[in-house]
Amino acid sequence: MRFAQRVIGSIALVHLLTGCVGGAAFKPLECKSSYPLDDYVYTRESFGPIEYFHDTSPASNPRTKEDFRREFGEPDEIATIDATSEMWVYNRSAFCGIVPMWVIPVPLGLPVCDEFDHITFENDLAVSIHFRRVDTAGVIVLLPVGGTGGGFHGCPAERSSEDGSGPLDSGSEVIVIPHTESCEQVVFRDGEILWSDSKNITRIDPDLRATLGATPKADLNDSSIDRVTGFGSYWSVRQEKKNSYLSRFDEQSGELFAFIPLAPGAVQVAVGFGSVWVLHAQMLSRVDPQTNEVLATIALTNLPSGRGKLVIGEKAVWVTRALSRLLRVDPAANQVTGTYEVTLDAEFAANYYDIVDLAAGQDRLWLLVYKGSNKFWSQGKLLIGLLEFDTTENAIRSTKSLYSGDSWEIFRSSLALAPNAVWACLPLGLYVIPTGDRH
Give pLDDT tens digits along the chain (439 positions). 333 344 334 444 444 444 444 455 566 778 888 888 776 888 888 888 764 344 444 667 898 999 999 999 999 999 888 888 899 999 887 765 555 544 444 444 556 677 889 999 989 989 889 888 887 654 444 434 344 444 556 777 543 333 333 233 333 467 877 765 677 788 898 899 988 877 888 888 988 888 888 888 777 665 556 678 899 998 988 877 778 889 999 988 888 989 999 988 888 899 999 999 999 878 899 999 999 999 999 998 755 555 678 999 999 999 986 567 889 999 999 999 998 877 544 444 444 567 888 999 889 999 988 776 555 445 556 677 888 899 999 888 887 877 766 655 667 788 999 988 999 988 767 888 888 654 4
Residue 432 main-chain phi, psi, to 5 deg:
-110, 115
Mode of pairing for the β-strands spanning 185-189 and 175-178: unpaired
- Domain 175-434 top-level CATH class: mainly beta
Write out the H or E segment, with its range, that includes residue 10.
helix 2-18
Please check whether residue 424 is in contact with residue 368, taking contact to mean a CB–CB distance below 8 angstroms: yes
d(CA 211, CA 204): 4
CA distances to 46, 66, 94, 123 from 71, in Å: 11, 9, 19, 19
d(CA 420, CA 434): 6
Under DSSP, the state recorded for 105 is B
CATH 2.130.10.10 residue ranges of the chain are: 175-434
d(CA 404, CA 383): 4
Please check whether residue 79 is in contact with residue 87, taking contact to mean a CB–CB distance below 8 angstroms: yes
d(CA 168, CA 344): 17
Question: Is 66 strand, coil or helix?
Answer: helix
Q: Is the pTM of the predicted complex or chain greater than 0.75?
A: no
Write out the H or E segment, with its range, that includes residue 288.
strand 283-288
Question: Residue 52: what residue type?
Answer: Y
d(CA 253, CA 247): 14
Give the CA diameter of the chain: 104
Count the Cβ atoms, other than its own, within 10 Å of residue 222. 9
Burial tier of 414 (Cβ tally within 10 Å: 0-12, 13-18, 19+): buried
Question: Residue 72: what residue type?
Answer: F
CA distances to 48, 109, 328, 338, 369 from 394, in Å: 39, 65, 10, 9, 17
